[in-house]
C-alpha cells in the first residue's frame, strides 16, 4: 500500500479492474474460480489489490517497476516470516502474465486490521515499542544473499544522496512557504551522518498504510515491496511521520539508535515530507495539512536534539 515518493519520473501505471483479476485467477488457479473478487478500498499505488473470497487477496503490480518486487517477495517473505514477532504476508501463489496483463502477480492470505492512524492507536508508547521490537527482529535476521538497494525498491537502504536533486527541487518550490534554511540544514546533517556499512534487513516503507491495527494495537506489517538489505535508517522515518514525541523517544531507545543513524532516519522523513509539501503548495486538503504537520514535527524534534 505504499504511497512513498519514488525517485525520478512517476511510473506509467496500467489500469486493472476486478473483471481482469477474476479472469486471471480463474485461468491460472481454477480451484479459486468460484470465489468473488472485489476491489480493496484504498488499495495503494504500487499494486492493484482485490479481495479474493473472504480470506485472500490478489495483488497485481500497476507498473513494470513495481513488478520487480514480485520475485523478491516470493523468494524472501517465507524466510523472514517465522523470525518476526508479528504476522507479515506470505505469498500463496505466483501468477504469470495473461489475459492482456503483462506482469507477474501474487495471491496472498488476507491479514485483518485497519491501517494505522493516530486516532486508532490505543497507547502511542506501547505501539512505538511494539514497532521497534518488530524492526529489531527484522534487523537480526541474517542478511546474507538479500536484495541490495536498487530499482526494485527505489534505492531504499542506500545513500540519501540519491534523492538530493528531488530535495533541492522541493526546497526551491517551498521557498517562502516553509523555513527552507532550516530544512536545508537538517538535510545536510543527514547527508553528513556516516553509515558504518553494517548491512541489515529493512522493510523500506514503514508507513501508516502498511501497519495494521487491531483493537488499538499493532497487529501486522504488510507490503514488503521495498524491502532489502542495506542501511536500515530508512525504516526510522516513521518516528516523525506517525509516532508521538513520547513514542518517538521510546522507539529510539528500544532500537538503541545512535546519533548518526537517527540523523539519517530524520533525513528519510524529511525527503518524503518535503516532496509531499512541494506537491501541495497552497492546498488545504487532509494530505497537505498532514505533510505540513510532519514537517513541523521534524523541525521541532531537530531543534530539541541539537
Span 275-296, average pLDDT: 95
Backbone angles phi, psi at 281, to 5 degrees: -55, 125
Q: Does 141 lie in the same domain as 240?
A: yes
Confidence of residue 104 (pLDDT cuts 50, 70, 90): very high
Average per-residue pLDDT for the chain: 96
Where a domain ends, among 111, 138, 172? 111
Q: Is residue 4 part of a domain?
A: no
Mean pLDDT of 272-277: 97
Query: Residue 90: pLDDT band by 50, 70, 90 thresholds?
Result: very high
Please tell me whether residues 161 and 260 are part of one structural domain.
yes
Range 43-46 contact pairs with CB under 8 angstroms and sequence separation of 24 or more: 43/1, 44/1, 44/2, 44/3, 44/209, 44/223, 45/1, 45/2, 45/3, 45/13, 46/1, 46/2, 46/223, 46/225
Sorting pLDDT into bands at 50, 70 and 90, what band is 43?
confident
- Give, in degrees to the nearest 5, the angle at Cα 195 between 256 and 141: 60
Query: What are the pLDDT digits (tens) for 291-304?
Result: 999 999 999 999 99
Q: Is the pLDDT of residue 270 over 80?
A: yes
Euclidean distance between CA atoms 254 and 85, whole angstroms? 15
Nearest to 201 by CA among 271, 130, 136: 136
pLDDT in tens, 10-39: 789 999 999 999 999 999 999 999 999 999
Q: Does the residue 34 lie in any domain?
A: yes
121 and 144, same domain (yes or no) = yes
DSSP string, 153-174: GTTTTS-GGGGHHHHHHHHHHH
Beta-ladder partners of 49 = 59
CATH of the domain at 150: 3.90.1200.10
Q: What is the pLDDT of residue 9?
A: 64
Q: How many domains does the chain have?
A: 2
User: Does residue 289 share a domain with residue 206?
Assistant: yes
Would you say residue 8 has pLDDT above 90? no
Specify if 67 maps to a domain.
yes
Q: Which domain holds residue 300?
A: 115-305
Query: In the prediction, which pLDDT does 306 show?
Result: 81
Q: Is residue 269 one of the residues assigned to a domain?
A: yes
- Mean predicted confidence (pLDDT) in 192-204: 97
* Distance (Å, whole) CA 226 – CA 97: 22
pLDDT of residue 7: 56
Same-domain status, 77 and 131: no
Indicate whether 158 belongs to any domain.
Answer: yes
Return the SS3 of 105: strand
In sequence order, the β-bridge partners of residue 109 are: 56
What is the reported pLDDT for 124? 98
Q: What are phi and psi of 36, to 5 degrees?
A: -70, 150
Residue 78 lies in a domain: yes
- pLDDT for 44 equals 80
Q: Is residue 214 part of a domain?
A: yes
51: CATH: 3.30.200.20
pLDDT tops 60 at residue 181? yes
pLDDT score at 6: 55
Q: Cα–Cα distances in Å, from 276 out to 154, 158, 177, 206, 225?
A: 17, 21, 13, 16, 21
Cα(206)–Cα(269) distance, integer angstroms: 11
Residue 12, in any domain of the structure = no
Please state the rounded mean pLDDT for residues 100-119. Answer: 97
| pLDDT given for residue 53 in this prediction | 98
Taking each helix axis from N to C terminus, what angle separates 180-192 and 164-174, rounded to the nearest 10 degrees? 170
Q: Is residue 1 scored above 70 in pLDDT?
A: no
Amino acid at each position: 500500500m505504499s504511497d512513498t515518493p519514488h525517485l525520478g519520473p512517476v511510473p506509467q501505471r496500467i489500469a486493472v479492474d476486478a473483471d481482469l483479476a477474476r479472469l486471471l485467477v480463474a485461468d491460472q488457479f481454477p480451484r479459486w474460480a468460484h470465489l468473488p473478487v472485489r476491489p480493496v478500498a484504498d488499495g495503494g499505488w504500487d499494486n492493484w489489490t482485490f479481495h479474493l473470497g473472504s480470506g485472500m487477496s490478489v495483488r497485481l503490480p500497476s507498473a513494470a517497476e513495481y513488478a520487480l518486487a514480485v520475485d523478491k517477495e516470493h523468494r524472501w517473505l517465507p524466510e523472514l516470516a517465522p523470525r518476526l514477532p508479528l504476522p507479515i504476508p506470505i505469498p500463496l501463489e505466483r501468477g504469470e502474465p495473461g489475459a492482456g496483463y503483462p506482469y507477474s502477480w501474487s495471491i496472498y492470505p488476507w491479514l485483518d486490521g485497519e491501517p494505522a492512524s493516530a486516532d486508532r492507536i490505543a497507547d502511542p508508547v506501547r505501539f512505538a515499542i511494539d514497532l521497534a521490537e518488530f524492526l529489531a527482529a527484522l534487523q537480526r535476521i541474517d542478511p546474507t544473499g538479500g536484495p541490495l538497494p536498487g530499482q526494485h525498491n527505489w534505492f531504499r537502504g542506500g545513500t540519501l544522496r540519491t534523492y538530493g536533486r528531488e530535495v533541492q527541487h522541493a526546497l526551491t518550490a517551498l521557498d517562502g512557504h516553509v523555513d527552507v534554511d532550516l530544512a536545508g540544514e537538517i538535510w545536510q546533517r543527514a547527508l553528513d551522518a556516516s553509515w558504518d556499512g553494517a548491512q541489515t534487513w529493512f522493510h523500506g516503507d514503514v508507513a501508516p498504510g502498511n501497519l495494521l491495527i487491531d483493537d488499538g494495537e499493532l497487529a501486522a506489517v504488510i507490503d514488503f515491496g521495498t524491502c532489502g538489505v542495506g542501511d536500515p535508517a530508512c525504516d526510522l522515518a516513521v518516528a516523525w511521520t506517525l509516532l508521538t514525541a513520547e513514542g518517538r523517544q521510546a522507539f529510539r531507545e528500544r532500537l538503541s539508535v545512535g546519533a548518526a543513524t537517527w540523523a539519517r532516519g530524520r533525513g528519510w522523513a524529511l525527503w518524503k515530507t518535503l516532496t509531499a509539501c512541494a506537491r501541495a503548495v497552497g492546498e488545504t486538503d487532509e494530505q497537505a495539512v498532514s505533510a505540513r504537520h510532519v514537517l513541523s514535527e521534524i523541525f521541532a524534534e531537530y531543534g530539541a536534539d541539537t
